[in-house]
Amino acid sequence: MPKIKLAGLVVDIRRDNPILNNQISDYITDDAAAPDITVDFKEDYIEEEIEQQIRMNLSFPPEYSEYLAIYRYVCTELTRHSGFLIHGSAISYHSAAYLFCAPSGTGKSTHARMWRLAFGSEVGMINDDKPVIRLINGEFHACGTPWSGKHDLDSNICVPLKGICLLRRSAVNSVKRLDATASLAELFSHIYRPRQSEAYLATVDLVGRMLETCPVYELNCNISEQAAICAESAIVPHRQGLS
C-alpha cells in the first residue's frame, strides 16, 4: 500500500483494503519522511469492530468491517497530532474554511451546495461529510479526508477554520452567534469520540481550545441560494473586495 498524506500528516496504511483503495488516489504521497501514523493493527482490532456492530444489531461484509477499523484507528491516532474528525460539510471560501454541522439528513450537504450555487468558483469543497480539524502552527484548520460521504466531495487541502454553523431547518433564514459553552454539547455530538480514554480526553481538550478562537453560529435556513447569502453576510469577515 502506498503512503498517504492526510491533514498534513504522513499516514502509512499497511492493510490492503479494496474499499479504501478506491478513495485515496488524491492523498497518495511520495514523501520520504517517517510516517506520523502507521496503521498496522492486529486482527483482534477488527474483531472488536465486528463485536461493536453486533451490539448495534448491524452486520457488514469483512472488507467493510476492516475499512471501518482503519477509519477508527486513524481517527484515534489523530488525537496524538492535535487533530480530530467531525461529521459535517466543510467548504473553503476566500482562503478560509467554514463548517456546517447537522444530524444526518438535515441538509448540511444541501446548504454547502447552495454556497456553490450562490458564489460559484469562489467556493471549494474541503470535505462533504467527515473533515478533520487539526491545530497547525497555532491555528485550527479544516482538512480534507478520503471519507467524504455519498457525494464523494473532498479535496486534500487544509484551510484555516473561521466559523462553524449548527444548522436548523426553517422557512425563514436567520443567523445568530452562540455562546461557546452553550454550543459545546451539541457540537461534541458531531465529533468522533475515540473509545480509548486518553484519546477521548485529548479530543475534549482540542474542542475546548478550538472554541476559544472559532465562532459558532446557529443557522436557521431553507433550501435556497438566499440561505447561503444570508449565512455569508453573517459569518464571513467582510473586507475589501468581499461583499
- Are β-strands 37-39 and 123-127 bridged in parallel, bridged antiparallel, or unpaired? unpaired
> Considering the domain boundaries, does residue 241 fall inside one?
no
> Considering the domain boundaries, does residue 203 fall inside one?
yes
Domain end: 29, 54, 81, which one?
A: 81
Q: Quick one: 228 and 108 in the same domain?
A: yes
Q: What is the tens place of the pLDDT at every residue in 60-101?
A: 999 999 999 999 999 999 999 999 999 999 999 999 999 999
CA distances (Å), origin 107, targets 26, 189, 205, 221, 231: 26, 17, 28, 9, 14
Q: Quick one: 113 and 194 in the same domain?
A: yes
What does the alpha-carbon distance between residue 14 and residue 121 come to, in Å, rounded to a whole number? 37
The model's confidence at residue 36, banded by pLDDT at 50, 70 and 90, is very high
Q: Quick one: 171 and 203 in the same domain?
A: yes
Domain end: 81, 100, 130, which one?
A: 81
The model's confidence at residue 103, banded by pLDDT at 50, 70 and 90, is confident
- For residue 186, the domain's CATH number is 3.40.50
What is the domain extent for residue 205?
84-235
Tell me the average pLDDT of the chain: 93
C-alpha cell at 217: 453560529
Radius of gyration (C-alpha) of the chain in whole angstroms: 18
Spell out the residues 6+ positions from residue 49 whose beta carbon is closer than 8 angstroms to its own. 65, 66, 68, 69, 72
C-alpha cell at 104: 444526518
Q: Quick one: 112 and 210 in the same domain?
A: yes
Q: Quick one: 34 and 104 in the same domain?
A: no
**Number of domains making up the chain:** 2
Structure confidence at residue 18 (pLDDT): 94
Q: Quick one: 166 and 185 in the same domain?
A: yes
Q: What is the tens place of the pLDDT at every residue in 222-238?
A: 999 999 999 999 999 87
Per-residue pLDDT at 170 exceeds 70 = yes
Per-residue pLDDT at 151 exceeds 90 = no
The model's confidence at residue 180, banded by pLDDT at 50, 70 and 90, is confident
> Considering the domain boundaries, does residue 240 fall inside one?
no
Mean of the pLDDT values across residues 190-194?
95
> Considering the domain boundaries, does residue 242 fall inside one?
no
152 dihedral zone (left: phi>0; alpha: psi -120 to 50; beta): left
Domain end: 55, 81, 107, which one?
A: 81
> Considering the domain boundaries, does residue 52 fall inside one?
yes
